[in-house]
Amino acid sequence: MSTLEIRDLHVAVEDKQILRGVDLTVRAGETHAIMGPNGSGKSTLAYAIAGHPKYTITGGSVLLDGEDLLEMSVDERARAGLFLAMQYPVEVPGISVSNFLRSAVTSVRGEAPKLREFAKDLKAGMDALSIDPAFAQRNLNEGFSGGEKKRHEILQLELLKPKIAVLDETDSGLDVDALRVVSEGINRFRGTGDTGVLLITHYTRILRYVKPDFVHVFAGGRIVEEGGPELAEKLEAEGYAAYTKDAA
């Protein structure tokens, strides 16, 4: 069983200290929601875990099954079983969804999947998400709707089967269709018990569809409150005002 352990993590962006001591443990089979006001450092946590070069680790550690993630290259992190859905996926003209996914699987496994096997897995994954087969031949992220981006994100999860998935949901633009796709995907994943999910979100809406096991409230670059699903309901009713006052 896999465990992601974040210990006293401090992260700076361009000499500005953003994360100020984050402690969080995510185990396979658990779904954790990180919630908090805009600018509280939620995406910074995701990018730091993913190894984005702009984010400087100034203290603490991140371990995946006891191995130091922070020492690994971005590729090595993916191979170790970490998945990060980018908040703003890039368009890659000339690369099809199918080619992108096959190279992602190749990179994670360290060898290319056999074409027939990959085609079979891809079809199964697309069927499960009710994706039109023509989608596989589209250019990566080009003109994707919110729902298509999310289907693609969850399709990556289905094919890559990560140990830990970090899903940073944009604070806007998730329509009901996209919400439903992400939620169903997460719920299917948690059912297997093999993947731990860290779901980062500003709004409580998605938590109507996905019941997190744990909710962590972020403010001022650290976790200021923790609880179960009831905490999400409290946030839905009361908002973040109580936390932003303290954090300023």
How far is 102 from 172, CA to CA, in rounded Å?
Answer: 30
Q: Does 18 bind ligand ADP (CB under 6 A)?
A: yes
Site string for ligand ADP, 42-81 (x = CB under 6 A): xxx---------x---------------------------
Q: Does 43 bind Mg ion (CB under 5 A)?
A: yes
CB closer to Mg ion out of 50 and 108: 50
- Which two tokens mark 152? 């693609």
Give the number of C-alpha atoms closer than 13 A to the C-alpha of residue 184, restricted to the C-beta side.
14
Q: Does 224 bind ligand ADP (CB under 6 A)?
A: no
How far is 50 from 84, CA to CA, in rounded Å?
Answer: 6
Helix, strand, or coil (residue 159) = helix
How far is 213 from 79, CA to CA, in rounded Å?
Answer: 26
CB closer to ligand ADP out of 105 and 198: 198
Q: What is the largest CA-CA distance in the chain?
A: 56
Q: Does 173 bind ligand ADP (CB under 6 A)?
A: no
Least CB distance from residue 85 to Mg ion, whole Å?
12
10 binds, among ligand ADP, Mg ion, none (CB under 5 to 8 A by kind): none
CB closer to ligand ADP out of 35 and 197: 35
Kind and range of the H or E run holding 166: strand 164-168
Size of the residue set binding Mg ion (CB under 5 A)? 3
Least CB distance from residue 200 to ligand ADP, whole Å?
7
126, 107, 92, 168 alpha-carbon torsion, rounded to 10°: 70
How far is 114 from 205, CA to CA, in rounded Å?
Answer: 40
CB closer to ligand ADP out of 163 and 214: 214
How far is 118 from 240, CA to CA, in rounded Å?
Answer: 45
Least CB distance from residue 77 to ligand ADP, whole Å?
19
Please identify which residue in 40, 183, 195, 204 interacts with ligand ADP, judged by CB under 6 A.
Answer: 40
Amino acid (one-letter) located at 75: D
Helix, strand, or coil (residue 53) = coil
- Which two tokens mark 185? 């995907």
64 binds, among ligand ADP, Mg ion, none (CB under 5 to 8 A by kind): none
CB closer to Mg ion out of 38 and 145: 38
Q: Does 38 bind Mg ion (CB under 5 A)?
A: yes
Q: How far, in whole angstroms, is CA 96 from its chain's centroid? A: 22
Paired residues of 33 in beta bridges: 199, 215
CB closer to Mg ion out of 38 and 103: 38
Q: Where does this chain touch Mg ion (CB under 5 A) — which range of 8-16, 39-47, 61-69, 187-195?
A: 39-47
Residues that bind ligand ADP (CB under 6 A): 13-14, 18, 36, 38-44, 54
Residues that bind Mg ion (CB under 5 A): 38, 42-43
